[in-house]
Structure 1
């Protein structure tokens, strides 16, 4: 018998309505954090360098980028972050998939 993979575990877990609902509710947060990291690294900046530009602590940048963080950043914070790495924000609304 083969050992189950993470993909197998995830498929099985997402069949449970409560797990699926929670997973879906976190999807936008995960996408945002992933994008923040991507634009910072594309700009060639470390968390320390970005913190210096934004006049904040590295720990604040780390917390902002962390998928495990419980903070919900203000739009103005995300705008400042984007501007510091050479980007601007564009917000799009898409229909919810049922």
Structure 2
């Protein structure tokens, strides 16, 4: 049954992404959600809870939850603290929009 639901969602998503405006917004959000996915995967690999991560970072569990849900825009400082606590390296690079679409 889960496969049917997944298939329906994938079909729905594919239809939505045919619309240029929606595709543009989706692509603009992709780097943010890729980063969030990396943080969650690493936290799970380390088998630590949001609460434990929050204690390491010096914040509260709801802040980690909001970060992982993408509910608010965190500061770069907080993002680097979370990455450091997860033993991750984050590198940011400014590039032109044409560079982004070309590679």
Whether TM-score is above 0.5 comes out as yes
Query: 1:26 matched to which residue of 2?
Result: 29
Q: Does structure 2 retain, via aligned residues, the 8 Å contact 1:13–1:20?
A: yes
Q: How many residues align?
A: 93
Give the TM-score normalised by the residue count of structure 1: 0.81
Q: Which has the higher contact order (CA 8 A, sep 6+)?
A: 1
Give ranges in structure 2 of 5+ residues lacking alignment.
Answer: 1-6
Consecutive aligned runs of 4 or more in structure 1 exceeding 4 Å deviation? none
**What does the per-residue CA deviation read over 1:50-85, in whole Å, with 9 as the maximum and x for residues that have no partner?**
111122110000001113x1x211211111111112
Measured in 2, the distance between the counterparts of 1:15 and 1:60 equals 35
Give the TM-score normalised by the residue count of structure 2: 0.78
Give ranges in structure 1 of 5+ residues lacking alignment.
Answer: none
- Secondary structure (helix, strand or coil) at the match of 2:101 reads coil
- Secondary structure (helix, strand or coil) at the match of 2:100 reads coil
Give the structure with the larger helix fraction.
2
CA RMSD of the aligned region, Å? 1.9
